[in-house]
Structure 1
């Protein structure tokens, strides 16, 4: 393609955004708005709106020191579909084994474009289940899966998640949620009464990816069997979940013990 062709098909705004991403990709400690402008030979005002859009779309994050860093979103986009297919395929045997041993239904949830989506589900061995269909969207602040994602993401990332669901500000959050998220990080799991069904408890554990971040939540809507005296109780089911969460993380490429 000639220089004339290059000029004909130029997209200045896109070029500006790509310049910012390429610059930040080469920087370890992030850059301020003024430093980005200077490096690109542009005025701070000229790149302000572009930076804001990149932050809003989660390609760039703004630190507490008011510096800008590139996120892993481009990496995730480049590997989105095949790894997700692999994750689901690799997860199904683990979900099936848990469902049989715990005699409970279970499902796997990912965060996708502002939504928590069920991407895999397995029924228990009996003729009844408390289960959620694949493709269902679940809440961020009122489910075990949502609590896992909030607990294991940075405050900035959690704020973006909340904003994407229209939940911004302390008044929008249930009382005591921040303390609960801290407890989840300490224990490594969530165990909470369902906000949707009486008598059901959401048991949820994180699934880690190769970079150490949470890529999915493994959840069981646990209900105590009263027709079988030897059915696993909630403590036993939770221990099975934690073991399954470790196995799922290993299959996803995480380094876990």
Structure 2
């Protein structure tokens, strides 16, 4: 009776897609459509449309003309984002300490469907600061946060991020020399760049790292130089303080201290 009850709520198309994903996940090598069909006890025509949809949605990649393999999209869905509530609760005290020491604002960002989204923000302790509101969505290509999130992604994750970005309505152009810039950012561990949005602001961005040294978030200081005081930390000092903050958060949020 229990099996009969479960059968009433079966979704054959969903079952078919999950069967394909589970098969490819358990296989070290790519497979042809015919091989997948044989392994699942189905005809090639029966799984053609499902394979096509999985490829279009980025869960499966078609390689060498007629072979299929699993992408890292499922991995990204499961591991790319730490739970936002925990991420923010752990980050806010560290962000508060950074802002007090550097006398600058800062904000925490994560990757979200082709853009960078601000999930936490901390004002500078003085009256003067530059900040971005929580919930703001900004570009992957022309922000320090976006560069850091791209630089500290795996090649497969980066390809997925950029493919999702291509679906956005605005500005689709990929900056020249982006790959070499991202390589430099990964090598040095941070990004420093003039703001593309505001004069006088200089973005300082560093990754919060998870397993495999991939970024689960980025912490950015939109550095605003002060000309009325000489006792305020300069840009180099603010960057050093920012890197201390991201190292601390990387340990707290799962990178560990085994290196």
TM-score over 0.5 (shorter chain): yes
Q: CA deviation at 1:19?
A: 1.1
1:187-245: CA deviations, max 9, x gaps? 11110110000111111111112454211111111111112202111111111111111
**Does 1:37 pair with 2:75?**
no
SS of alignment partner, residue 220 of structure 1? strand
Contact 1:108 1:119 (C-alpha < 8 Å) held by counterparts: yes
TM-score, length-normalised on structure 1?
A: 0.86
Distance in 2 (alpha carbons) for counterparts of 1:4 and 1:78: 36
Tell me what 1:24 maps to.
24
Tell me what 1:140 maps to.
140
Distance in 2 (alpha carbons) for counterparts of 1:176 and 1:48: 38
Tell me what 2:220 maps to.
219
Contact 1:167 1:173 (C-alpha < 8 Å) held by counterparts: no
Contact 1:94 1:244 (C-alpha < 8 Å) held by counterparts: yes
TM-score, length-normalised on structure 2?
A: 0.85
1:50-107: CA deviations, max 9, x gaps? 334334445x3538665422536368459978x3211110000111111111111001
**Does 1:51 pair with 2:55?**
no
> Which consecutive residues of structure 1, in runs of 5 or more, have no partner in the other structure?
none
Contact 2:104 2:125 (C-alpha < 8 Å) held by counterparts: yes
Instruction: Output aligned runs, 1:47-196, within 5 Å.
Output: 47-58=47-58, 60-62=59-61, 67-69=68-70, 71=72, 73=74, 76-77=77-78, 83-166=83-166, 172-196=173-197
Q: CA deviation at 1:179?
A: 1.4
Runs of 4+ in structure 1 off by over 6 angstroms are 78-81
Tell me what 2:205 maps to.
204
Q: 1:79 to 1:233 in 2, by over 3 A?
A: closer
> Which consecutive residues of structure 2, in runs of 5 or more, have no partner in the other structure?
none
Distance in 1 (alpha carbons) for counterparts of 2:51 and 2:218: 31
Tell me what 1:232 maps to.
233
Contact 1:33 1:48 (C-alpha < 8 Å) held by counterparts: no
Distance in 1 (alpha carbons) for counterparts of 2:115 and 2:211: 22
**Does 1:246 pair with 2:247?**
yes
SS of alignment partner, residue 172 of structure 1? coil
